[in-house]
């Protein structure tokens, strides 16, 4: 039986779906004003891993992942680039879809955009006004958190002790309390052409309302799982609970699943520190994208993970060894029940991927083990590493020459030169894997 750590209860609980064998799951997606960074992708891989294991365990999963295509950041960036909001978000939506496919993340069943669900958001805001949980000011409509019982439970906050943050102080002082959050923002000149004429006023939605409106539209007012990074627990997920439960009078979500931070060289990612990386940056440096996925699996999703290029290189080496071994296995049409049981036990214990990887390596190294091919295949269906994927590609003479030069450098143990050549090959759109049968090229 799968046990998941539930942020709401702060303990592991046996997972049971609301409807037998059907799991409804919402995953907070990106704000599409720029390329997603590798910290974002830890959250998306975690959600994908959970979905894959639920499928493996016999559940049918309906996953919804939103795209935030209107907010302060998207409006500001579109104005900076002197293009329409739609042009900007379309560009980064395309990039995001390409990136999740590159990381072998199964596409969510529904990927709704905020701008296409204004009607649902307006209806939800109207309901909150009618029930007395929301109120109007000169610049918008706000949710009164003091009127909602148990506000702060998800984040473990005491409402009376909740301090006023810098963001709260900057908000409009027409609000009843600085802590109240915006449901609907009335149009301001700095918004330019971005607004909707609605029954509740000319304007645009606040950040939190979109996830409540879209999740309830596609999954119902009460559903099984909501996932995201720990940075979203407060205020975003806490506010989702407040506005959703205030509107419906029902429990919003049964299980809240949050992954921990990804640090880079022991620090939070920041462009000013020069440690901000996208998936595309990783590929340009000559790394295979699924080596990053492997790195994510080496730490439990609820543990902080420190990213360095040294540990990414170690993950790439381990991943390439696994692929090489898998490519040489023969299918004996059997499964190894003992190893499969160990793997399932690890994953049933709150998705313990470090232990699951350990089981995989023990199986790989066990010379007496039968059913390796089929067992590894089943494990790989959950971990999503594409260990058995083979790609036939045509390469130019220039690339072939670079591969030969790299082999010579490796033969003379000039690892620095070999790495430089690998980066050159990566910049031309290829990833090189070293196997017992020689170097193998795949497309980035």
Distances from the Cα of 239 to the Cα of 116, 134, 211, 260, angstroms: 21, 13, 10, 20
Confidence bin at 274 (pLDDT 50/70/90): confident
Strand-strand pairing, 201-205 and 196-198: antiparallel
User: Helices 85-102 and 38-56 sit at what angle, rounded to 10 degrees?
Assistant: 60
- Per-residue pLDDT tens digits for 146-166: 999 989 999 998 776 665 554
Least confident of 73-77, 97-101, 326-330, 348-352: 326-330
Give residue 435's Cα distance to chain centre: 31
User: Helices 309-327 and 289-297 sit at what angle, rounded to 10 degrees?
Assistant: 100
Tell me what pLDDT residue 158 has. Answer: 77
Mean pLDDT value across residues 42-55: 98
Tell me what pLDDT residue 164 has. Answer: 56
Tell me what pLDDT residue 393 has. Answer: 67
- What is the three-class DSSP state of 205? strand
Least confident of 119-128, 173-182, 428-437: 428-437
Tell me what pLDDT residue 429 has. Answer: 81
CA nearest neighbour of 393 among 358, 317, 444: 444
Tell me what pLDDT residue 6 has. Answer: 98
Give residue 239's Cα distance to chain centre: 20
Sign of CA dihedral 56, 59, 60, 61: negative
Percent of the chain predicted with pLDDT > 70 = 95
Confidence bin at 269 (pLDDT 50/70/90): confident
- Per-residue pLDDT tens digits for 380-411: 999 999 999 876 567 788 888 899 999 999 98
Tell me what pLDDT residue 437 has. Answer: 65
Tell me what pLDDT residue 271 has. Answer: 74
The Cα–Cα gap between 366 and 61 comes to 34
- Per-residue pLDDT tens digits for 182-215: 999 999 999 999 999 999 999 999 999 999 999 9
Long-range contacts of 390-396 (CB under 8 A, 24+ apart): 390/327, 391/442, 391/443, 393/430, 393/441, 393/442, 393/443, 395/430, 395/441
Domain boundaries, the chain: 3-259, 263-383, 397-443
Tell me what pLDDT residue 166 has. Answer: 43
- What is the three-class DSSP state of 290? helix
Q: What is the chain's alpha carbon radius of gyration, rounded to the nearest angstrom? A: 24
DSSP states of 16-74: --SBTTEEEEEE---BTTSPPBHHHHHHHHHHHHHHHHHHHTT-EEEEEE-BB--SHHH
The Cα–Cα gap between 38 and 240 comes to 25
* Res 444 pLDDT > 80: no
pTM of the prediction?
A: 0.87
Quick one: which H or E segment has residue 147? none
Residue linked to tokens 């639920």: 54
The Cα–Cα gap between 214 and 426 comes to 39
Q: Which CATH number fits the domain 3-259, given the four candidates 3.40.50.300, 3.40.50.620, 1.20.1250.20, 3.40.50.10950?
A: 3.40.50.620
């Amino acid at each position: 039986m799968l046990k998941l750590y539930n942020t709401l209860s702060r303990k592991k609980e046996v997972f049971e779906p609301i409807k037998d064998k059907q799991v409804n799951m919402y995953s907070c997606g990106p704000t599409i004003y720029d390329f997603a960074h590798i910290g974002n992708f830890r959250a998306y891989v975690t959600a994908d891993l959970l979905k894959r294991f639920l499928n493996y365990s016999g559940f049918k999963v309906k996953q919804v992942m939103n795209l935030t295509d209107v907010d302060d950041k998207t409006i500001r960036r579109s104005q900076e680039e002197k293009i329409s909001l739609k042009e900007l978000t379309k560009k980064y939506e395309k990039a995001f879809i390409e990136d999740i496919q590159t990381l072998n993340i199964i596409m969510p069943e529904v990927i709704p955009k905020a701008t296409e669900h204004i009607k649902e958001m307006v209806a939800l805001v109207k309901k909150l006004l009618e029930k007395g949980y929301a109120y109007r000011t000169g610049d918008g409509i706000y949710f009164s958190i003091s009127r909602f019982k148990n506000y702060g439970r998800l984040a473990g906050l005491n409402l009376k002790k909740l301090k006023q943050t810098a963001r709260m102080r900057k908000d409009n002082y027409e609000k009843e309390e600085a802590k109240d959050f915006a449901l609907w923002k009335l149009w301001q000149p700095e918004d330019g052409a971005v607004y909707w004429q609605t029954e509740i006023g000319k304007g645009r939605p606040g950040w939190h309302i979109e996830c409540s409106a879209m999740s309830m539209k596609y999954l119902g007012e009460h559903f099984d799982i909501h996932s995201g990074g720990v940075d979203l627990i407060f205020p975003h997920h806490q506010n989702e609970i407040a506005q959703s439960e205030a509107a419906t009078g029902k429990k919003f979500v049964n299980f809240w699943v949050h992954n921990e931070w990804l640090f880079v060289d022991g620090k939070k990612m920041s462009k000013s520190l020069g440690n901000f990386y996208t998936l595309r940056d990783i590929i340009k440096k000559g790394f295979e994208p699924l080596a990053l996925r492997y790195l994510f699996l080496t730490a439990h999703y609820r543990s902080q993970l420190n990213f360095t290029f040294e540990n990414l290189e170690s993950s790439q080496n381990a991943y390439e060894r696994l692929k090489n071994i898998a490519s040489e296995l023969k299918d004996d049409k059997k499964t190894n029940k003992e190893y499969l049981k160990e793997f399932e036990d690890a994953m049933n214990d709150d998705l313990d991927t470090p232990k699951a990887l350990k089981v995989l390596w023990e199986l790989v190294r066990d010379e007496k083990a039968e059913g390796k091919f089929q067992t590894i295949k089943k494990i790989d269906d959950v971990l999503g590493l594409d260990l058995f994927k083979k790609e036939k590609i045509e390469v130019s003479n220039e690339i072939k020459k670079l591969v030969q030069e790299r082999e010579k450098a490796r033969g003379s143990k000039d690892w620095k030169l070999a790495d430089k050549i690998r980066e050159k090959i990566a910049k031309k759109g290829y990833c090189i894997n070293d196997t017992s049968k020689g170097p193998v090229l795949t497309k980035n």
